Structure 1
Amino acid sequence: MYQTYHFMAMAMTVFAILVMVFLVGIQIQALRRYRHKSFLFLLIGSSLGLVSSCVGIAAYLVPPGWSVLLHNLELRCLFYVPGAIFGVVGTVSLFGSYGELFKANRQATTSH
């Protein structure tokens, strides 16, 4: 039973890494195309999350033990927490700029 859960957890982590690689690719394209700071923040946040997940997969490759898990968790937090902060800042920035664009577009269409 333990091996099944261990395999499922590792498979979910690998899936999360693949999803983050895809998101990083989209954010790189958006940053190149639009050159908006929100995409830079999102890219930094996703990249830190990707590093955190890659560090996390190491816990599945070594013999289990509390010291290994705690050390791995501490190391992951060094990347995950700043990544989450950058992600939130990037999302707020993106929605803020979209709101400004929407407002400007509405004013332009009502003035005609």
Structure 2
Amino acid sequence: MIWLATIVLGIGVEVILLSLQAEALRRYGHSSFWLLIVGSACAAVYAAIGAIPYFITLSAAALTNLLSIGLAFALVGVIFGVWGTVSLFRRFGQLHRVSIGVSDEAA
């Protein structure tokens, strides 16, 4: 039964992150939040795909194919998640420099 709690926790965290990112996108409109949303959505799909074998018996070939698809979602999620995080940190750095009166040329 611990596997079910792990699945629910993983997908639950992704849903919470997605809702926070969607609210931040609505509020601030910065493109980094789109990247983070795509990354989190891919991670949620990866978690859901990883949960399927716990509910359905699959042949070895079907399991391999399913987990390969899951791995593709995970890879895309990592790429977009890192890209979105870097974009968000860069934007924060720009805003911080503006708030303390330092131009981008001087930084």
TM-score bin, normalised by smaller chain: 0.7 to 0.9
Equivalent residue number for residue 6 of structure 2: 12
Structure 2 gap ranges (5+)? 103-107
| 1:78 positional shift | 1.8
The 5 Å alignment of 1:24-103 reads 24-63=18-57, 66-103=60-97
- The percentage of aligned residue pairs carrying the same residue is 36
How many residues end up aligned between the 2 structures? 102
Equivalent residue number for residue 3 of structure 1: none
CA distance in 1, matches of 2:4, 2:47: 10
Over 6 Å off, 4+ runs:
none
Q: TM-score if structure 1 supplies the norm length?
A: 0.82
CA distance in 2, matches of 1:80, 1:59: 17
Query: Which protein has the bigger helix share?
Result: 1
Instruction: Say which one has the larger Rg.
Output: 1
RMSD: 1.6
CA distance in 1, matches of 2:17, 2:101: 33
Q: TM-score if structure 2 supplies the norm length?
A: 0.86
